[in-house]
Amino acid sequence: MRIHFVGIGGVGMSSLAIHCHLMGHDVYGSDISRNEHTEVLERLGVKIFLGHTRENWLNPELLVHTPAVSANNPELLRAQEENVRIVTRFELLRQLVESSTQFAVTGSDGKTTTTAMLAHVLKAIGADPTVFLGGMNPSLEFGNYRKGSGPFVYELDESQPSFSSFHPTHLIITNARRDHLENFHGDESYYMSCFEKLAESAQNVVTFREDRLTSHLGHHTFGLNEGTCVLLDRKVERFEQLATIRLDGKTHKLRLRVPGLHNVLNAMAVVTLLWAAGFNPADAVKALSSFVGTYRRFSVTTIDESKNIYVVDDYAHTPDEIAWLIRTSREVFTGLKQVMIFQPHRYTRLAREDGNFAKALMDADEIYVTEVYGAFEQVLPNVSARMIVDGLKNHGKKAEYVPSPEELLMKVKPAPNTVYLFVGAGDIIDYSKKFVRESIST
């Protein structure tokens, strides 16, 4: 089958495109620019068109698009005119996995790392999973994708109601927050009903015991104080940590090469689900000791070790993720000044979570907030990153609004005993890299 992917360079779309290509389909696609994902596809022989026009057309039998593609996209319109079958990436993923054993991870925070951990363990114990990841992990053949002969492991994006149409065999729900409510008619009860519908379809569901919205959906839970799997003790060793957990009455020592309490919880979710699915939890614990993390999740660059100057790049874009990030950075870089450079992601999220962002950022020592990265959203009137800065100042916190990341790099310069946190799901990564280059060359 010839398949046209609109927005083929996205991390989720490119993994689907690779899978279809390796399955023998004739795959091609389009995107607004080249990136690491399109380069991988081109090396595989996949044709990539730059930009979106009616001429990007090779007579496909199926067109796949993301929710971000506008209704007036010329390729989408041509597909409609020519009666080509059209599906979203959610629908394609569901069709690909529906007749197989499935391990799915969903939730507001921690999906990518938890999915990567789950894939890493299943690969290590010989289950040979096929993996679709919403980020990049060095242990996967293509970073965001791995082809195997065993179960499907996938990150299930909860941003659209259609996520509830999946029927995973085994499911982790990391947590649920009021994120993406604009796609659920602003109705939190509708949002939660989608989680409930998804959970009802799974044989095994694991949830976070302390999450007020989803804990009750789990057949098994993991938690700090209660649950099927409980954290008994945790020791931090800079970038590594050693946790003692109890699962079903048995104690295990869990060593992780990734920092942060949240990553211990992610690992506990994985161990609990695999135990529920019939695997030996001791094998899962052992395999997790070699997990090295995912791209843009507390990615550290050392500028000058002798002067204690470091840069942390992180994808955190919700208030809870930011709070976990700062907490982790203080554990890893004890006593160092924490300078936060934050780029909010999506106007709708900022409008909804304005006060919570300010609250989460309070624990940084010095704060710079640059303007919103829209991610295809229309600018909302009276919604600006200034709102966060105003909120911080109202609580007596020193913070500065810097409209553009370029201007920000003129203000922020490397200083001894300082960690620079470049945070957000937009293009702040480009400026983090530039900051590193300029800092090392000086």
CATH ID of 2-88, from 3.40.50.720, 3.40.50.300, 2.60.120.10, 3.30.70.3190 = 3.40.50.720
pLDDT of residue 405: 83
Cα end-to-end span (Å), the chain: 53
Instruction: Report the sign of the C-alpha dihedral through residues 75, 80, 85, 86, in that order.
Output: positive
One-letter amino acid identity for 355?
G
> Does residue 366 carry a pLDDT above 70?
yes
pLDDT of residue 442: 64
Average pLDDT, the chain: 93
> Does residue 182 carry a pLDDT above 70?
yes
> Does residue 50 carry a pLDDT above 80?
yes
CA 439 to chain centre: 28
- pLDDT (tens digit per residue) in 1-14: 999 999 999 999 99
Residues 6+ apart with CB under 8 A from 209: 215, 221, 222, 223, 224, 225, 226, 227
Q: How confident is the model at residue 290 (pLDDT cuts 50, 70, 90)?
A: very high
pTM above 0.75, yes or no: yes
> Does residue 336 carry a pLDDT above 70?
yes
CATH ID of 299-441, from 3.90.190.20, 3.50.30.40, 3.60.15.10, 3.40.190.10 = 3.90.190.20
Range name among 80-84, 125-129, 352-356 with the lowest pLDDT average: 352-356
In the chain, what are the domain boundaries? 2-88, 98-288, 299-441
Q: How confident is the model at residue 421 (pLDDT cuts 50, 70, 90)?
A: very high
Q: CATH number of the domain at 98-288, please?
A: 3.40.1190.10
98-288 and 299-441, same CATH topology: no
Q: Are strands 152-155 and 145-146 parallel, antiparallel or unpaired?
A: unpaired
pLDDT of residue 307: 94
Q: How confident is the model at residue 426 (pLDDT cuts 50, 70, 90)?
A: confident
Over the Cα atoms of the chain, what is R_g? 22
CA 150 to chain centre: 24
